[in-house]
Amino acid sequence: MAIAASSACQQNAKTTSTQTTDTTKKSKYLSQPLISEIYTADPSAHVFDGKIYIYPSHDIESGTPENDNGDHFDMKDYHILSMDSINGKVKDNGVALSVKDIPWAGRQLWAPDVAFKNGTYYLYFPVKDKQDVFRIGVATAKNPVGPFKAEPKPIEGSFSIDPAVFTDTDGTAYMYYGGIWGGQLQRWNNGKYEANRSKTDSQKENEPALNAKVAMLSKNMLRFDGAVKDVVILDENGKPLLTKDHDRRFFEGAWMHKFNGKYYFTYSTGDTHFLASAIGDNPFGPFKYQGTFMNPVEGWTTHHSIIEVKGKWYIFYHDTQLSGKTHLRNVKVTQLTHNADGTIALIEPMKK
Ligand code: FUB
């Protein structure tokens, strides 16, 4: 009995100390994971019919070794999350689209986004084709959580990763996309793919940085309408940001939102792990660099979306709180504030 009592005591002490460690660990973070049953990342959030839907990547441990191309981000399907309110219960709506059901796909289903028009939901997704080149595809559904059916081919003229679709107040939709390094943007030269271009070949330090891309979408939402353009980000002197400006130049994870009639292009600086904003007067830009609005999260990648819910603005983002591993991430949400001067207030994802 005595032994049992002592052992129970030790067990209690152990539980209490684990709980204390967990609580201390949790309290380091500005916000907590929205779900912990599966790993999720790259959250593109939207409000449809008053309900919040999150379209994330579904991170898994596939066993693919880690490398600079991001091969360990070896995702195979999408699960869409939904919630009635920002602090409400989060529902995982199950598999909405699988890589095996996309006729042209090879591997790596990365960060998606969605748009709604005339009763149809359009899911835009980047995946490597059978030649291992990232392209952007589209799948449709009548329900915001799917299941989605993929079009037989990728969007003509599309390449690279991280599509973010913004529908302006006049109903015109635009896709922002692109990502350097593993996202292959640097391999595209005048519309041609050069597989052997390394992540730095095309990026001379004193030359203008590579830009994200923007294309208007056709009325049926399945094609690009017109030329793909560069999303140019200008510095305080009206000059394009340079490649060497790693703290400010575009890397991946584009998003667009409109606030007070201005167009906010927000993005990840990648290897320096910031979220940055640049403001323009129209969807094509140019955009003037404004600053960092979120400091680095735990984990290498930084990817976000910004939406308005009932008059307040929120940022959805991810970190690696649950796993401590770069490729097994968890999505989160916190409030975002536009300052009186139009800039976005700095968010600190880790408490000091
Ligand atoms: O999830 C895979 C990639 O990691 C995304 O496409 C990037 O934005 C980064 O978050």
pLDDT tens, residue by residue, 6-29 = 333 333 334 444 555 566 688 899
From 39, 40, 42, 326, give the residue whose CB has the most ligand 1 atoms within 8 Å, as the site to mutate.
42
Residue-range definition of the domain harbouring residue 235: 31-336
Number of structural domains (the chain) is: 1
What are the tokens at 46?
Answer: 């939207």
Please compute Rg for the chain using Cα positions: 21
Segment 170-202, tens digit of pLDDT: 999 999 999 999 999 999 988 899 998 876 655
User: Mean of the per-residue pLDDT values for the chain?
Assistant: 93
In a domain, 164, yes or no: yes
For residue 190, what are the contacts with CB-CB under 8 A and spacing of at least 6?
Answer: none
252 is catalytic: yes
235 is catalytic: no
From 161, 177, 267, 273, give the residue whose CB has the most ligand 1 atoms within 8 Å, as the site to mutate.
161
Q: Containing H/E element for 185? A: none
In a domain, 346, yes or no: no
In a domain, 77, yes or no: yes
Segment 141-174, tens digit of pLDDT: 999 999 999 999 999 999 999 999 999 999 999 9
In a domain, 253, yes or no: yes
In a domain, 274, yes or no: yes
Pocket residues for ligand 1 (CB within 6 Å)? 41-42, 57, 73, 110-111, 161-162, 179, 252-253, 301, 303
Distance 43 CA to ligand 1 centre (A): 10
DSSP state of 271: G
In a domain, 24, yes or no: no
Distance 53 CA to ligand 1 centre (A): 19
Query: Whole-model pTM?
Result: 0.93
Distance of CA 228 to the CA centre of its chain: 21
Residue indicated by tokens 């408490």: 351
Do 78 and 127 form a contact (C-beta atoms < 8 A)? no
Q: How much is the average pLDDT of 48-73?
A: 97
In a domain, 11, yes or no: no
Catalytic residue among 59, 113, 252, 319: 252
CATH code at 187?
Answer: 2.115.10.20
In a domain, 206, yes or no: yes
Distance 303 CA to ligand 1 centre (A): 7
